[in-house]
Structure 1
Amino acid sequence: MTRRLIRSALLTTVFGLGFATAALADASFVIIQNGENVGHVEVVETAADKGKTLNIDYVVDDNGRGPKHKQTITLNDKGLPVAGTVAGTSLMGGAVNETFAIKGTTFTWSSQADSGKMALKAPKIYIVNDSNPYDLAIYARYLLTQPNQTAETLPGGSARLQAIKTLDVGQGDQAIAVTIYRLDGLDLAPAYILLDEQNELFAAGNMVRKGYEAEIKALGKLNSELEAERQKTLQAELGHRFDGPVRIKNVRVLDPKTGRLSALSSVVVNGDTIATILPEAEAATNAPKDETIIDGEGGTLVPGLHDMHSHTTRSSGLFLLASGVTSVRDMGNDNGFLDTQIRLMNEGTVAGPRIVRNGFIEGKSPYSANHGFVVSSLDEAMKAVRWYADHGYYQLKIYNSFNPDWIPAVAAESHRLGMDVVGHIPAFYSPDRGMKDGYDEITHINQLVLGWLLKDGEDTRTPLRLTALARAATLDLNSAPVQASVATMKAQGMGLDTTAVIVERLMLSRAGKVNPADAWYLKNMPIGYQRYRKRTYVPLKDAAEDASYFTAFDKLVDIMKMLHDNGIQLLPGTDDTLGFSVKRELELYVKAGMTPAEALKVGTYDMEVYLGRDQQLGTIERGKLADFFLVKGDPTQDLSALRETRMVLKGGFVYFPNEIYDALGITPFTTAPTVTKPDSPVAASDHSDHGESDGAHFHY
């Protein structure tokens, strides 16, 4: 199951107006992904002293993974959760064992993320850490009894509910009236939830009431439209356009090709193009009076970063831009959604990086990832290849359940039509065979390394594609199989989309601890996201197995160094929607032996060369597109300087990350530079004319 699907499902619920008098009936829901039933939620109610108890069974099996756990939760006569347990497994098989209880004014809890005891002065709602979709039914019923439908949550934060619109869904005798609500405060993005006239859950995200599966496509479109409207509003508020040229003064310009910074300079942008770059002393005496001036205060301008393994969502654009990520390669998505999102971004209606589309193709199996094209024959696969070529996709991405016997023909056709072939190594296949059959790039470092670790017959359509990495702890990098693969990659000019950051998270995340990938920014995030990141993803039988994952990850870093030393192109990707992860990916490249300047070159200029756009992008030069960002320090000496991104330019818009983070419920990391309009000093938050304001999915 993709992380977006899981986190969307966690924000699904049923709300009641006045819980004490409204009965919660038994309920059944299905979770659907790309037309396939991938899970369910079953709710059974029993009476309890002065309240009721709900027994909730939650199962998801999508792409060989998904949470599977049972919850018992007791509510008092006001609808407030007062006790509960959750037991089972999470996304990749990690153990779940959560409890909480409120007795009088004392609250105690224990979850994967945290545990503790606190005194309560007033009622608050405990937000279950390893939740199921129905949990928010409980939260929302309570919210609807509170002033402004807002309440504080445990162990921190708050939640708010608001009605958006009413509509009719279903056909004939099944037609019913529903109201759609938006729930904010529990995650990085809101949830859109449909309730019927009895205030019982009808649908949310990919989940719909059993018997109404046919409505999921229309409801998905509705959710997408509502979030698109929200994103349009945010772009109108946060994307700045200024009349006339914009001069960014007192900055040093990074040349990623040499790894050097210029002397203090002024960079003038006209529209979306870099017009002039002059030494500061010369520019200060000759600047025209009609320019907007932005004072960089001695900071560094860096060409826009790239995420070469992204899955675009409605809400990902602002998160990426706020970190200086101005270009992404989308590695598989709903094709119609992606085309619409690109159009809106090109119009300037919504915010987001430039998107290069890769076409996702999967084979039909019980483990299929249900995105792009899922094919059952070679003929269907060839038709999918031609569809992607006709629609201008850059590369073809092959996935886990694709039939290996079809790959030579599919790769040949893809190459004939001008598309490289990239992707996972399908089950019961090998990287070496993939390179022989036509692969141009391997997706995820684990997909390469598993070729040296797996035994015959082991199935990588399951979480084994993660858990088997523990075996890398004892892998000999000088062994014949390893060196043979590296030699082939070097000879064929192969690339590797590393996504080391997501592998680090999945291998090294442990309950109650902050992963190194998230340590620097997590405290600034909403508490729900903080808790989400403090979980164990892998099943652990003992301390020795636990330690093997850490040793194995160090070995993966050594492998990245070996590949880089052999001239094999590493492509920094994240399989995530937050720009923070791109910065960590580059930090791991430094850990693998690159200098900070070399890692910056890989993350900026080299990717534009790879994408064939280096004549327009990748460096800050006169006549090129103005995709770059401002940081305080010198990232060529320490990549941590990238964390304090103060301003981002992309597509003719100027963004200030402190404004973006504030709007999205994140504590800002730094301040915006001073902006002075012609003859009138203004704060960065003063909004100029913006012009007309009309999974994603994760496949790790």
Structure 2
Amino acid sequence: MMRPSRSLAAVLLALCASASQAAVDSYSVMENGAKVGSLTADRKGKAVDIAYAVSSNGRGPKLKEQLVLGAGGMPSSWQINGNSLMGGDVQESMAYQDGTLRWTSQADSGERKLAAPGLYIGNDTSPWALGMYAQALLKAPGLKLDVLPAGTLSLAKLRAVPLKHNGRALKLTAYVISGVTLVPKFLLLDDQQQLFAVLDDSLLVRGGFENHYQELKALGDALAGEYLASLQQRLAHRFDGTVRIRNVHVFDPASGQRGPLSSVTYYRGVISTVAPEGSEMEAADKEIDGKGGTLVPGLHDMHAHNTAWSGLFYIAAGVTATRDMGNENPRLLELSRRTEAGELAGPDMIRAGFLEGRSDYSAALGFLPATLEEGKRDVRWYADHGYRWIKVYNSMNPAWVAPLAAEAHRLGLGVLGHVPAFATPDQMLEAGYDEVTHINQLMLGWLLKPGEDTRTPLRLTALSRAADLQLDSAPVKHTVALMKQRNAGLDTTLSIVEQLMMSRTGEVAEGAAAYLEHLPIGYQRYRKRSYIKFKDDAEKQRYADAFAKVLETTGMLHREGIALWPGTDDPSGFLLHREIELYVKAGLTPAEALKIATLECERHFGRDQQYGSIERGKRADFLLVPGDPLQDLSLLHRIGMVVKGGVVYYPDQIYSAINIVPFGGDK
């Protein structure tokens, strides 16, 4: 057999080496067991071309990235183009050349002189970037690295994870990376330190391993649970005897008044005395000086999607009870169990069971019944497992709502939800809704044209038409009269609507100004972007005028006696404070807004005999702010202490533990 020449052998060797450096990595994005997106990373030497697309609940990012890796695996150039979650334009670039790093994104632009390439954190990226960040951190001293444009990332190795696939064992390692986004991310890297999975709510997993979804989801929950349980042991302060909080004013939501200086004592999680400061009292086992601040009953987020991580954020924000409005059912029940047992920090979770129809736009939560009888069976499952409402979603067949509502009401459950596509709020109220979810879902009944599909981002963008809405028009009056007739309420979520309508490229939105600079750089940049693709400045103004009409509508509904419930659709806790501020912008007084967020929510839950105000015999659920919130609601961002069921938490300690700059709440 003829041997190849030396030159031919060299060419073949070079080709083999080149081929070994080229690879296409494919990944699937999974939610609730279903594939909702894909990611491919075409690696050719130091160049990487990435395509990323997600379609979940009628929305999702679609991005193309061109990346070149330089020294130490740091990106030396990076181009990102496409659309963000709600369709906003993404045009981001960075390049390191001749000792200067230059970048431009929706959030910001700038340049920095550097002796060597640094780790740039992209503003709009695919999850593939997390693997790149982890690889850079693995080479950094102490697994910690200052990053650009600002901030610090850290990586912690958790444990080896064996995964059996088609008869062979994969050697994977679990890590947690902090400092990119609000919540630390759990990753799996393979034995070549390449990204295998991102264990997030939207799980990213290497192609071909999709059938391991449940196993990987359970692993992600276990890793987060272990990590958060260790934080709970460190951050939760428990006292066996009597605890007295001295030198505080008490906000009474029933009267709307801030009382004189008092002392509040509790024992085993139950308030035992509320007495004027200086009264003759026996010494308590533990005394805490409130320094003249105000005790406020625990706050409520009436539109939550609880996660293992959201518990810490909610507690730090003084939110002691949430209404979960849709989740993966087994996961939520386990999370509730662990929180109630004190293993994890978190609020009480009053549950609404998610019911969605089947379509190309379906949200992958709760149950998606194929028939009406399946839907009734699902309602019974929710009733048997202690849920208080059913929540109907966008793709549900409107004709099914009345029989589903009848079954729910028969079993003592309330009925609420989005307005299914091609139906109206009036029709859903007549079919049995006790509550409409999101103010945009209510207002679209006055704005949409027949046949328009709200399973798409239109359910948010069409709200721009509200700029011309007349609140004394016949359709508005009819809906309000119907709500009064049925004693139906509205879960407002003004804060998330504001975030979507009022975000502007490169600007810090008014609603985020009080807290954004305290948060990780990735989240800061995420919030300095537009979620909507604006054609021009006139369209931006139209959205601003429309949001002003949203607030005017909120005030009108309150004056008409429609029950309003503050919710955020956001797990950070920060937006609940903004929700309360927006109620005041809509015309409520601070006392009215705080009453709704405390006592009225508990009346809605039917728990007001035990919760919702600071009185003898009620549960010790309250927060301490360093001043008078009736005069300055921004004090809610400086909470000094939160008590949940008698367990004491200090928000500054929580924030320090999760890479957030503390707010300096007085303790």
Could you say which TM-score interval applies, normalised by the shorter chain? over 0.9
Alignment equivalent of 1:192, drawn from 183, 186, 189 = 186
Aligned partner of residue 290 in structure 2, secondary structure:
strand
The aligned amino acid for 1:592 is A
Q: Deviation per CA, 1:313-358, whole angstroms, max 9, x where unpaired?
A: 1111111111111110000111111111111111111100111011
Equivalent residues of 1:358, 1:393 under 8 A apart: yes
What is the match of residue 320 of structure 2?
326
Give distance in 2, aligned partners of 1:419 and 1:584: 30
Aligned residue in 1 for 2:273: 276
1:656 and 1:672 in contact (8 A); partners too: no
Do the aligned partners of 1:253 and 1:262 also contact (CA within 8 Å) in 2?
Answer: yes
Pick from 48, 51, 65: which aligns with 1:54? 48
Alpha-carbon deviation of 1:363? 0.5
Which structure 2 residues correspond to residues 22-421 of structure 1 after superposition, within 5 A? Answer: 23=21, 25-47=23-45, 52-173=46-167, 175-205=169-199, 206-283=203-280, 286-288=281-283, 290-421=284-415
After TM superposition, give the deviation of residue 672 of structure 1 in Å.
4.2
**Amino acid across the alignment from 1:304:** G
Judging changes above 3 Å, is the alpha-carbon distance between structure 1 residues 438 and 480 closer, same or farther for their aligned structure 2 residues? same
The alignment status of 1:449 with 2:473, answered yes or no, reads: no
Amino acid at match of 2:595: K
SS of the residue corresponding to residue 315 of structure 2 reads helix
Q: Letter of the aligned partner of 2:439 in structure 1?
A: I
The 8 Å contact of residues 101 and 117 in structure 2, kept in 1 or not, is answered as: no
Contact 2:75/2:117 (<8 A) preserved: no
Structure 1 runs (4+) greater than 6 angstroms displaced: none
Question: Does the aligned pair in 1 maintain the 2:30–2:213 contact within 8 Å?
Answer: yes
CA contact (8 A) 2:21 2:44 kept: no
Of 633, 636, 641, the match for 1:639: 633
Higher relative contact order (CA 8 A, sep 6+): 1
Rounded to whole Å, the distance in 2 between the matches of 1:216 and 1:476 is 49
Q: Distance in 2 between matches of 1:643 and 1:132?
A: 31
| CA distance in structure 1 between the partners assigned to 2:267 and 2:147 by the alignment | 47
Q: CA deviation at 1:21?
A: 14
Q: 1:84 to 1:63 in 2, by over 3 A?
A: same
For the Cα contact (< 8 Å) 1:322–1:656, is it kept in 2?
Answer: yes
**1:658–1:672: 8 Å Cα contact kept in structure 2?**
no
- Aligned residue for 1:282, secondary structure, equals coil
Equivalent residue for 2:12? none
Aligned to 1:433: 427
Alignment partner, residue 668 of structure 1: 662
Mapped partners of 1:122, 1:671: distance in 2: 39
Corresponding residue for residue 605 of structure 1: 599
1:272 CA displacement: 0.4
Aligned-residue Cα RMSD (Å) equals 1.5
Distance across 2 between alignment mates of 1:541 and 1:170: 51
Shift of residue 504, structure 1, vs aligned partner = 0.2
Deviations 1:502-554 (A, max 9, x none): 00001111111111111111111111111111111111112221111000000
Q: Structure 1-normalised TM-score?
A: 0.91
Alpha-carbon distance, 1:201 to partner: 2.3
Which residue of structure 2 lines up, in the alignment, with residue 649 of structure 1? 643
5+ unaligned residues in a row in structure 1: which ranges? 1-19, 674-700
Displacement of 1:300 after TM fit? 0.7
| Count of residues in Structure 1 that have an aligned counterpart in Structure 2 | 647
Give the secondary-structure state (helix, strand or coil) at the position aligned to 1:182: strand
Deviation string for 1:61-116 (max 9, x for gaps)?
Answer: 00100000101011125322111111110000000000111112211100011111
CA contact (8 A) 1:170 1:215 kept: no
The equivalent of 1:461 in structure 2 is 455
| Counterpart AA for 2:313 | F
> 1:405: how far off?
0.7
Mapped partners of 2:77, 2:116: distance in 1: 17
Inter-partner Cα distance in structure 1 for 2:325 and 2:646: 26
CA contact (8 A) 1:266 1:279 kept: yes
Tell me the residue number matched to 1:16: none
**TM-score normalised by L of structure 2:** 0.95
Which residue of structure 2 aligns with residue 590 of structure 1? 584
SS in 1 for 2:229: helix
Match of residue 677 from structure 1: none
Task: Tell me how far apart the structure 2 counterparts of residues 632 and 21 of structure 1 sit (CA, whole Å).
Answer: 64
Please, which of 550, 553, 564 is the counterpart of residue 559 of structure 1?
553
Equivalent runs, 1:503-542 vs 2, <5 Å: 503-542=497-536
Hey, what does 2:6 align to over in structure 1?
none
Deviation at 1:648, TM superposition (A): 0.7
How far does residue 136 in structure 1 lie from its aligned partner after superposition? Answer: 2.4
Q: Is the 8 A contact 1:501 1:574 kept in 2?
A: yes
Distance verdict in 2 for CA 1:586–1:77, change over 3 Å = closer
Distance in 1, Cα, partners of 2:287 & 2:568: 35
SS at match of 1:31: strand
Once residues 70 and 629 of structure 2 are traced to their aligned partners in structure 1, the CA distance between those partners, rounded to angstroms, is 54
Change in 2 beyond 3 A, CA 1:35/1:553 = same
1:260, CA displacement in angstroms?
A: 0.8
**C-alpha distance in 2 between matches for 1:579 and 1:59:** 29
Please give the secondary structure, in 1, of the residue aligned with 2:49.
Answer: strand
SS across alignment from 1:350: coil
Equivalent pair of 1:100/1:108 in contact (CA under 8 Å):
yes
Do the aligned partners of 2:503 and 2:530 also contact (CA within 8 Å) in 1?
yes
Cα distance in 2, alignment partners of residues 167 and 577 from structure 1: 28
Counterpart residue number, 2:4: none
How far off its partner does 1:174 sit? 5.1
| Structure 2 residue runs without a partner (length 5+) | 1-17
Q: What does 1:618-633 align with in structure 2 at a 5 Å threshold?
A: 618-633=612-627
Offset, 1:570: 0.4
Identity %: 51
**What's the CA shift for 1:145?**
2.1
Task: Specify the SS of the correspondent of 1:167.
Answer: strand
- Label 1:411 to 1:24 Cα distance change in 2 as closer, same or farther (>3 A): same
Shift of 1:24: 6.1
Q: Distance in 2 between matches of 1:459 and 1:174?
A: 47
- The residue type paired with residue 163 of structure 1 is K
Letter in 1 for 2:290: G
SS of the equivalent of 1:357 reads strand
Alignment of 1:659-698 (within 5 A): 659-673=653-667
Offset at residue 374 of structure 1 (A): 1.0
